[in-house]
A and B are shown apart, each in its own frame.
Chain A
């Protein structure tokens, strides 16, 4: 399990001693903790540069020049997976990042939500199947999404229909963390107003974003989490170049009117988001996915019935003789 990490250590070490439900997790120490996140947002909001800045190296090469002759047709959505091995404060993380390219870029984007939902459900289904196998695959890698970072366009006003629909549809399958892409187009005032408007909209439409305060048992962590939630949505500015000045290497973004230091917390929330994602809340996010989101999905799936090994299709829901299909090992977990 995760060894002690700075500041929010109390929660981490407490959780470290509670046994995890899935037994195959025990071997994680050698490989690194399995952690899957997805980046979703319209093109141009900085998803790819965010990943590169997060991992401190160029994981995704910058896109090649688009073909002007095909600019009138949108590219279909695709899911590109990038695997990175990180070491964060002594913990090894086997990070798998899925970039959902093409979301919201077309004229009619109604099919984008279904594609995302199908993808996330497919990962759940895989685990469902795997869990119920008689002979489990020892080298099986869990692909369930532990966090989804959604990049909101910095309009400065409030949430758009695309944003609302996405969070509404996917919030029950994955932890959604809203972030503002290209936050350097908003002044300090505008950023405050925008953050407030977004949170107001989230309350108004009752959108299911990840609730940092879901675990009410630890009161200390609860207070810290409430403070963190004041920063939502996190403003993201990504690194353009690395300067070498008298303080060492600094990651910056340079403009004719000034230079932004990415790692300066007063200028953007990148550092905070990174810390949450890879350090303080990694266990929380994984736990919530496994204990709540996955369990809810599983219950729903099995209640409907007709779950056959190897297929996770809801279309077969009418099928009642699942006794024949699901093998001997326990249908319900412990």
Chain B
């Protein structure tokens, strides 16, 4: 390892110590290990696609509890998309990760699913906004970073192609965050059907210009490069989720799904892509996901916002939502009506006052005239030679 060039002089060969720059990665390692990291994962998809089970399988712990009947029925009635955040802290070999999992119950579950991705998109942008504002504060110590680092979109395995809902939602989400498409409940597609479905999904993603997360391929290590290539070629990932252990026909105890006709194993690469996805999310590409979010997506947001806003100004709320626009119109109409009413009232009042004033003025004039008259009479009497006049003569 050579020391950096100093004003064109020859590079000095590595002496026994160098100046110690090579030790920087180790220092970074210590710092990061002490600090831990913060990772936010979002799961989006229709109910029943296995989102909850997947998260619980991934983290090997029941982070999200499944809903019971009564709450599900209530959810069916309110026709909204909720955003639920589950927090967990994972620790492995002295390294801790603060994990946030964002769940979106109600997405795509209703008869009319228009704009159901808007709450998701709004949430993502709000996290960027929060971070932006915190960064602009004088004291930046305790910044809470809830920016979403990866969004897993669960596609129903219908065997044909992406639905219009999937296309529109993925387009909107992929433009703002690292989007990773997943084929949910993949154990209902035969291997040939699965291959065909994957290809069709990727064709639609290309044709519709949906932006998905592309992990970097190049690496110094040949093995890693091959592994990365495998991961990319497996997208969208076909997932089977299971949080319980079952016994296979040949006696092994594995995490899987027990059918009368066999056991579909979660961690078997022949059965599904769970291991590849887990590797992508945690083992190999977590930091890349985090840095892409910060350097690409967040930066894009920041640039567009800063171009139009001054430093420290709050964000303009633009509501493209049709419903809100109608409400806004209605409110505005009511407001103008009220203003008109008040103005009329004031005008009438003013007129009444003017009329009153005129009347009073007239009275005043009358009195004035009367006084003048009396005065002139006094004058007359005073000027006439009558004996009474001397009372008035001064």
Interface residues of A (CB under 8 A from B): 42-45, 63, 65-66, 68-69, 71-74, 105-110, 153-158, 160-162, 164-165, 182, 184-185, 187-188, 197, 200-201, 204, 240, 253-261, 266-267
Contacts and interface: CB of A to CB of B under 8 A. Distances in A.
B17 interface: no
A180 to B, nearest CB: 11
A154 B48 contact: yes
Nearest to B264: A257
28 contacts: A43-B160, A44-B160, A71-B161, A71-B162, A72-B168, A106-B164, A107-B165, A108-B114, A153-B156, A155-B47, A157-B47, A160-B47, A161-B110, A162-B110, A164-B76, A182-B188, A184-B187, A253-B190, A255-B190, A255-B262, A256-B191, A256-B270, A257-B262, A257-B264, A257-B265, A259-B261, A260-B260, A266-B260
A110 B112 contact: yes
A66 B188 CA distance: 20
A62 to B, nearest CB: 10
Q: Which of A156, A185, A200, A254 has its CB near the most chain B CB atoms (within 10 A)? A: A185
Sorting the interface of chain B by its residue count into under 10, 10 to 19, 20 to 34 or 35 or more gives 35 or more
A68 B204 contact: yes
A110 B111 contact: yes
Contacts, number: 142
Contacts of A106: 164
B332 interface: no
Nearest to B206: A68
A182 B168 CA distance: 25
Given A44-B159, A71-B207, A257-B271, A109 B111 contact: yes
Contacts of B260: 188, 260, 266-267
B80 interface: no
Contacts of A204: 73
A153 to B, nearest CB: 7
Nearest to B261: A258
A107 B164 contact: yes
A105 B163 contact: yes
B158 A184 contact: no
Contacts of A256: 191, 270-271
A259 B260 CA distance: 9
A258 B67 CA distance: 31
Interface string B241-268: 0000000000000000111111111000
A185 B186 CA distance: 8
Contacts of B203: 68
A108 B165 CA distance: 9
A44 B157 CA distance: 7
B249 to A, nearest CB: 8
Interface string B191-224: 1010000001001101110000000000000000
A110 to B, nearest CB: 6
